[in-house]
Structure 1
Amino acid sequence: MGTLLKISHLIDTLTRLIGRSVIWLILAATLISAANAIARKGLNIGSNAMLEIQWYLFAAVFMLGAGYAFLQNAHVRIDVLANKLSKRTRTLIDIGGIIFFLLPMCYLLSAFAWPVLVAAYETGEVSSNAGGLIRWPLYALVPAGFALLALQGISELIKRIAYLAGAGPDPLAHEADAHAASPAAACGTQDNVSGEVRQ
């Protein structure tokens, strides 16, 4: 389990690095949007490429940031029901969700997106808008984003199994992100978690 937790830690580190990096794309999109609006309204200068790059940046934040949202436990949950369940039951539900829904979904969507990406790259597909951008970088975000989400899903699966085995902290706790940063620290809480699981 120690080796798996180290792998989980490496995945979390990668996810955290990507998540904190793509946040800056929001600022870039905002600045480009402001500059484009000023150019259109004030100087009567328009650019479809400038409009489309905003969409590309937004798509990048959404797709590449999904794994980070999972790491931060920021995805939408039905808290009214979840809060009535024990931590062990919630963890088991999460494990089932990751294995039977999340990972298969990531695989299928990546598999479906890949041929579209390859075709767009080989043909040099360009936006139908005048002065628009090439499309394959946008299409590449789909398999890349779901691959990163699947990778984080594997990390979350490891942490949940470790929690049930008494070898790690509760990944659903608010402090989970801080604890997960160190597998050694996670293993050091084994005694406390074991007692909590048995309850």
Structure 2
Amino acid sequence: MLNNLNDYQLILASQSPRRHQMLKELGLDFKIKTKEVEEVYPDNLRVEEIPIYLAKLKADAFELDTVENELVITADTIVCVGDTVLGKPRDRDEAVKMLKMLSGRSHEVISGVCLKSNAKEVCFSTTTHVHFKELSLDEINYYIDHYKPFDKAGAYGIQEWIGFVGIDGIEGSYFNVVGLPIQRLYQELSTF
């Protein structure tokens, strides 16, 4: 469908099975390549700038070996409660703490995406507002014990049990909360 990309070899620089599946469902042929990148950012960034900074950092890791016809797609997703950024929990205790913080309140999920070839770079972000009902400690413990959300920003996956029982509203892209704003990505790829 995206005929303008016929001359490109698409590279998805992500280990996320959710991102792999979404790009596959978009009908795109792509390869998966990842590079080790230390995901740190300057303290002076506003929360909405962090995921774009990190996505660009991941894309820049490909700069020396991006061949002429490659188009690298990188992404990073963060969860924000006010000015507090929740990354991936390091352990069970941190996951419990994060879910308690999200319980009964709204937060933002912000994904940054970077599209990079040798000739061009486009970066963008998408924000979705998510509201959790009040979660009991039993619900939090059940979710963590059964779903082990240690690879997810904010310690939860909207597409898992906690999303079914705990999220009572979203404003914006559902797929952004899963980890990739696929509608916006499609739009940006169509004009790349």
**TM-score, length-normalised on structure 2?**
0.29
- Larger RCO, structure (CA 8 Å, separation 6 or more): 1
Structure with the higher fraction of residues in strand conformation: 2
Larger radius of gyration: 1
**TM-score, length-normalised on structure 1?**
0.28
